[in-house]
Amino acid sequence: MTSLFRILITACFLLFSGLTLAKETVRVGVLQYGTVNWEMQAIRNTGLQNNYDIQVEVVPLASTQALLVALQGGKVDVILNDWLWVARQKALSRDYRFAPWSTNGGQLVVRNDRNIHTLKDLKGKTLGIAGGKTNKNWVLYKAYIQQAAGLELGKDIQVKFAAPPMLNALVQQGELDGVINFWHFAAQLNAQGMHTLLTMQTLLNNSGIKAPVPLLGWVFSAAWASQHSKAINDFLAMSAEIRQRMQTDDSLWATLPAFTKYPAPAQPWLMDGFRTGAMTTTSPETQASLNAVFETLSRNQEENDVTGPLDTLPADILWQRH
């Protein structure tokens, strides 16, 4: 009888241990060269997953298009993307949600030897631009520079479109006077002594949009999130917690191979940029700020199909914890 009792106790212990150890896996699609890898490596290196009931599986992919295909095909559960894609999917009856991650956007960086101190000094200069004419950077910067300085990109200011690494190479070689490039490429130019003339958040603030505007966020299927609400809420909480740690713990950054691969002079600029853009909470003003940006895009997109068939921004693209 005693032996049977011990067997039952052992079986129950093993059963409940197994239940305790069983964690739901959240598959996170990441660009294999993206800054999101800093966060993923920080989560791994700190053992933060041990505090949550999920297991993060990082799925590296080669391009933004590959991320979108993987998400839509159910090969990953979560990716980083922008809210405008989520809105356009809504117009196609595809229901996704957006949880803000960063306010970092394109930055206008200029060479110090080209006598560019204000936007008006850009007249007759040549700027390189990342993202193409269907990107938010092009539409918002074009509209703002015309409003603030009376200069038109593509007319008063010559433009060249290219991939971000190529733009950095060209401006370093002196073949461009400046670039509108993604923030982490801009930070590398800052580290070489070039200065930022305008950031996306300053542009938006000067346009009357005062609340922080998330430009990148975690994107996932609304149906998947509804079925796995604890898993997505745990993941978002974990993501916010690690970025809060990364705000103050310099030593943590030294453990991240995806970060330390950058030249040492660039690392403080990259760290500061990441910290400045990190967005871990939303407020009632978040939806209003997105609406204002959408209206600006819609009003200034000209022949470029930026907002798609939408007349207004859908009200339910932001994830609401439940």
Average confidence (pLDDT) per 10 residues, the chain, 322 residues: 56 48 91 96 97 97 96 98 96 96 97 98 98 93 98 98 97 98 98 97 95 96 97 98 97 98 98 96 91 96 90 92 70
- CA nearest to 153, candidates 162, 167, 143: 143
**Domain assignment of residue 132, yes or no:** yes
Asked if 45 and 189 sit in the same domain, the reply is: no
Residues 64 and 26 placed together within one structural domain of the fold: yes
Same domain, 75 and 196: no
Of 181, 183, 214, nearest in space to 87 by CA: 214
The answer to whether residues 99 and 225 belong to one domain is yes
Residue 192: give its domain's CATH number.
3.40.190.10
Return the structure tokens found at 45. 């290196």
Nearest partner of 77 among 103, 91, 51, 59, judged by Cα:
59
Answer yes or no: do 92 and 222 share one domain: yes
Residue 6 is encoded by which pair of tokens?
Answer: 């011990």
**Residue 280: per-residue pLDDT:** 87
Residue 135 is part of which domain span?
107-206
- The domain tally of the chain equals 2
Whether 114 and 202 share a structural domain? yes
d(CA 236, CA 49): 12
Domain shared by 133 and 195, yes or no: yes
Q: Answer whether 0.75 is exceeded by the pTM.
A: yes
